[in-house]
Structure 1
Amino acid sequence: MSDWIEAGQKAPAFHLASDEGGKIRLSSLKGSPVVLYFYPKDDTPGCTKEACAFRDRSEEIKELGATVLGVSPDDTASHAKFRTKYELNFPLLADPDHKVAEAYGAWREKNMYGKISMGIQRSTFVIDAEGKVAKVWKRVKVDGHDQHVIDAIKALTEA
């Protein structure tokens, strides 16, 4: 299990398949902020609520010059279904071997009703225009999280 990436550190590079087809490389987004959020599974209650909150605030996020990317171990076909069902307006990236989640520290030991397993810890990283992590939420509570992320992007763009 890897350590969390902390604010101030360089964001680990990635090149992941997108539900839109093709791949997205973090380095290609340099020059503007990126909201990289890790979630456990497509079309589950908490993950749907989180994705829809980002969808509903996407205009605000775009106006701040930021890009939202959702990452889970699900494959691109699952992502495409999830995206279509909830009309999500940002790419979902497939991390089936959880290498990117591990690089950020989002792949963690979880304890569900006494059963220990490995999985995604719901977490969000705001990456600044230079590719450094500006803000980290390690155990995201979905309610109100979208506003916290927008506030963090605003703080970046006003700095």
Structure 2
Amino acid sequence: MYIKTALFSLFAASATAFAPANSQVKSTQLNLSVGETAPDFSLTDQNGKVVTRSSIKKPLVVYFYPSDSTPGCTVQATEFNESINDIRKTYGAEVVGISGQGVESKQAFAKELGLTFSILADENDEVRNAFAVKKAAFGFLPGRVTYVLDKTGTCVSVYDNLVDAKSHVEQATVALAELKESAPAPSNPFASFFSK
């Protein structure tokens, strides 16, 4: 029995040694870091509207969540929905949620909660993979990660917390406040006339 186990282990080790590089498991590190430009994407929301990241010329909160109509995701969407008017008015920003279910699921989820921001259908997880959102719960669940992007699409904040869905809204607004504070003041072309 020992020899059989040893031979099997040797065979398995040598087989993986000669496997092509692209067959290896992808890293679970978050790919998009602060200071990097977010991948562009075009996805359909609950209203059938195609939302393209690069066409949004204002700060953008992009949050990835595991699944529509689950307890934590319902809490997260509700919290963002309750804060959306303040996010738009105070920070001039927009919010989009992304998960792997289709448009019909998004429609039902948005209707159930009365969502007034876009939740996007990423059915093949292409955008999730482009952002390299790591899996959670030992790889069994899609991760819950929130990115805050400036108006050029550059990442200014990454927040990763599967369990505390509500905290994502707070962390996003903190990042938006810091972004607003660091923005240069708008110039006044008439200021030179009044400074004399």
Q: CA RMSD in A?
A: 1.5
Q: Secondary structure of 1:16's partner?
A: strand
Identity across the alignment (%): 32
Q: Which has the higher helix share?
A: 2
- Give the aligned partner of residue 142 of structure 1: 165
SS in 2 for 1:57: helix
Deviations along 1:114-141, whole A, 9 cap, x unmatched?
xx54x42000000101110110012242
Structure 2 alignment gaps of length 5 or more: 1-25, 183-196
Query: Does the Cα contact within 8 Å between 2:40 and 2:53 map onto a contact in 1?
Result: yes
CA deviations over 1:1-40 (Å, ceiling 9, x no partner): 354211111111101111111311101102x100000001
Q: 1:94 to 1:134 in 2, by over 3 A?
A: same
Greater Rg over alpha carbons, structure: 2
Pick one of 95, 98, 104 that aligns with 2:131.
Answer: 104
TM-score (structure 1 length as normaliser):
0.90
Partners of 1:18 and 1:85 in 2: how far apart?
15
SS in 1 for 2:86: helix
Aligned mate of 1:120, from 126, 142, 156: 142
What SS class does the counterpart of residue 36 from structure 1 fall into? Answer: strand
Counterpart CA distance in 2 for 1:145 and 1:18 is 21
* Matched residues, number: 153
Please say if residues 159 and 171 of structure 2, whose CA atoms lie closer than 8 Å, have aligned partners that are also in contact.
no
Q: How does 1:49-88 map to 2 (within 5 A)?
A: 49-63=75-89, 64-88=91-115
Q: Distance in 1 between matches of 2:168 and 2:63?
A: 11
Q: Which has the higher contact order (CA 8 A, sep 6+)?
A: 1
Larger fraction in strand? 1
Q: CA deviation at 1:69?
A: 0.1
